[in-house]
Every structure is written in C-alpha cells, then in structure tokens.
Structure 1
Amino acid sequence: MREIKKTDFKVTEWSGGKTTELYILPEGADFSKRDFDFRISSASFTGTSSNFSDFYGYQRYILPLQGFIDVKYEGLYDRHLEVFEAEYFDGRWKTYSENSLDTLDYNFIVRNGSNATMEIVREAKEVKADGYKLYVFSPQAYKAELNGEVKEMNAWSLYIIEEDFKITDLKKPIIICKYK
C-alpha cells in the first residue's frame, strides 16, 4: 500500500477555479499535453457555470464531493448530480455545467480502451483487487483491514492498493478507481 498525502497533491489554477491533481499515470506525465493514461483530480469552482475541456480520446467520470453539478451534453441529455452521484461520459462530448458556488468535484479521466472503472462504496465491505490497482480516496477518515491489520486511513489521502482489503468503518462514501 502506498499513501499519497494531500500535501503531495499538485494544485493549479484553471479558468473557473483550482484543480488539485491527486495522481496521474504515468507519474510525471503532463496533463496539458494529453500524454497520460489516467488522471485523478478534484476541482473547486469560483463561479456557477463552466465549459468542460475537450478530452477527445478519453472517457470521464465526475461526481460532486460537495454541492451539486448539472451536466449538460450539447445535443444529447442533461443530468443533475448530488453529492457522490457519479456520471460517466465521453470526453469529446461538448459539455457545459451549472453548479452551486460551493461545489467541489472529483474526476477520473481515462484513455479510451483502458481497463478502468470507478466505484462508490457506501458501507463496510470486502474489496477485491482482481488484478487491478486500486486508487482509494475519501474526504473523511475511515478504517480498513489489510493483511489482517486494521489501519486508520487518512482523510484527503489517495491510497494505491494492489490486494484485496476490507473497509471496516466509514462515515462518508469512499471512491475507488480501478485500473489495470
């Protein structure tokens, strides 16, 4: 297990707020050059609307950690997202959003053809790695059992886990991004 702490995250400004990069693969890839396989990030907003960047060649997951997001896909459909409700969509879709001013989101962007998924865990359970690397995040501390030992998992840390583990105590949902 590897822990990446909040103090290690990369924070950058964007036109509508701040983006915090929790992890990018390969490590050291340049998000702006689109030379990554996947990226996990969280963004805050300074306004109540935003145009999403075109991520042709990628699939996207997004969910609010606080506030709400109304995503609107030009010519397709609209969807209202409350806290921990995830949306999965094609990164090339022309996407616009409206949100509450206090919105903080979570993003998982993966290259097309990748073997990846995202799961929201809402209760204590056994999590199977099944050959995936697991990228586990929660805005609140929780407890997990790894190799028979119960560990306190820190809020706002990203854990990279390559084996089965058990979530034993949580107060808010946990997000698990899986990639192989």
Structure 2
Amino acid sequence: MKATLLRASDFQVSDWPGGKTRQLFLSPPDGHCGSRNFDYRLSTATVEAAESSFSDFSGFHRILMSLDRPLSLQNASRQEETVLAPFTPYVFEGSDSITSRGTCTDFNLIYSDHYQGQMIALSDGQELSRNESIQCIYALDNLTVTLGEQPPRNIEAQELLIMEKETQETELQIMFSSKQPKGACCAVWAGLTHIPTK
C-alpha cells in the first residue's frame, strides 16, 4: 500500500459562485478540473451565499457531505428536496440541476464512470475494514490513524491521507482515535473502486 499525506499548503484554493473551494486532490495530477479532464477529485468548499447553484459536472458522479450545518438541496432533475443533515452523504449525478439553501462547509467527491465511490463520516474510536483500491481520510480534528500492521501515524486537522493499493492486498483495517468527545465526527473517509473496462 502506498500512503501519501497532503497538508493544507498543498491544496489549491479558488472561488466558485457560492463561496470558496479547496481542491484537496485531483487524479491524475496533470488533469484539469475546469476542462473536466480528470478521473476523480476531492475538495471542500464553503457555501457562503444564502442560495447558490451547483456547478455542472455532466459525465461524472458526485457525493456531497456537509461538515457543520444542515443544507437544503433542491434537485430539479429528480424533482426532490432534501434537508441534508451534517455528516450525511448525498449521492447524485454531476449533471443534476441543484440549488442549495443555507450556509455550510462541505466535502465533495467527484468521479468518472471508471470508478464507484463511497463516503463515510468517522467517529473517535471507530474501526473500519475496507477493500477499496483508493482510500482517503480527511481529518476534521487532530487524530491518530492506525493502518493495519503499520505504526500509528498522527494526522492534523485539515490534512488528507491517501492510500492506494499496489497489489491484491486484503481488506485494510483502519482505526481512529482523537480527543473529540465520543461519538463526535473526527474525519471523513472516501473510497474509490476502479471498475475494469469491458
């Protein structure tokens, strides 16, 4: 397993119509989000406007999670409205026409048809056993992460740990501990499984 730790200074910050976005990771590294030339992208964004429209990412799939406050999502493509509670993943298509109401900081995963994505909020003391080929942990608080048989490693708040399988390894056992109250969310886990082309 190859593990890479990215710090806040590694992230790209830019404006979007509803606030600011921080690109945490883009694959491949020489891809480009604006031209939609990438396989997957992890980012956080502030939703600062009382009402804002999501960017069009037709041809991609998306998972969104609020990290702090409820967010009302009006999905015109599905003709549904959802009040998204903090730390609840919302899965939708990049082509969906979505208007959000409310302000928050969110966490986003966007991925192409070559992948299947998942997202989970993690609490102090939680153990996770996953088999995805790419796994990412975004720290919301300073925490200690134990990956299988490896020595524990400390991750600071707003750092991103990316783990990529290099062989047909078994499931990765992950354990988290932080100084947050028990049950409080301390990190977000995102996983991607590569779908072989037929």
* TM-score of the pair, normalised by structure 1: 0.90
SS of match in other structure, 1:32: coil
Asked if 1 retains the 8 angstrom alpha-carbon contact of 2:140 and 2:188, the reply is no
Aligned to 2:9, the other structure's residue is in SS state helix
Where in structure 2 are the equivalents of 1:1-180 lying within 5 Å?
1-74=3-76, 75-100=78-103, 103-146=104-147, 147-162=149-164, 164-170=172-178, 171=180, 172-179=185-192, 180=194
1:148 shift after superposition:
4.3
CA contact (8 A) 1:84 1:173 kept: no
Deviation at 1:113, TM superposition (A): 4.2
Is the 8 Å Cα contact of residues 129 and 162 (structure 1) preserved in structure 2? Answer: no
Gap change, CA 1:83 and 1:135, over 3 Å in 2: same
Identity within the alignment, %: 22
How much does 1:112 deviate? 2.5
In 1, distance between residues paired with 2:65 and 2:116?
20
| Secondary structure of the corresponding residue to residue 112 of structure 1 | coil
Once the two structures are TM-superposed, the CA of residue 151 in structure 1 deviates from its matched residue by 2.1
- CA shift, 1:131, in A, is 4.9
1:123–1:46 Cα change, 3 Å: closer
2:174 alignment partner AA = K
Residue 19 of structure 1 aligns to which amino acid in structure 2? T
Q: How far, CA to CA, are the matches of 1:139 and 1:120 in structure 2?
A: 10
SS in 1 for 2:152: strand
Moved more, 111-120 or 72-81: 111-120
Q: What 5-or-longer segments of structure 1 have no aligned partner?
A: none
Distance 2:5 2:66 in 1: 23
Q: CA deviation at 1:76?
A: 1.8
**What letter is aligned with 2:141?**
Q
Residue 173 of structure 1 deviates from its aligned partner by: 3.8
Shift of 1:88: 0.5
How many pairs were matched up?
Answer: 178
Q: Deviations over 1:99-123 (max 9, x none)?
A: 13xx111110111241322222235
Q: In structure 2, do the counterparts of structure 1 residues 115 and 45 end up closer, same or farther at CA, with 3 Å as the change threshold?
A: closer
Q: CA RMSD in A?
A: 1.8
Aligned partners of 1:161 and 1:124: how far apart in 2? 20
Q: Which runs of 5+ in 2 are unaligned?
A: 166-171
**Residue 175 of structure 2 aligns to which amino acid in structure 1?**
I
Distance 1:80 1:173 in 2: 22
What's the offset of the Cα at 1:44?
Answer: 1.0
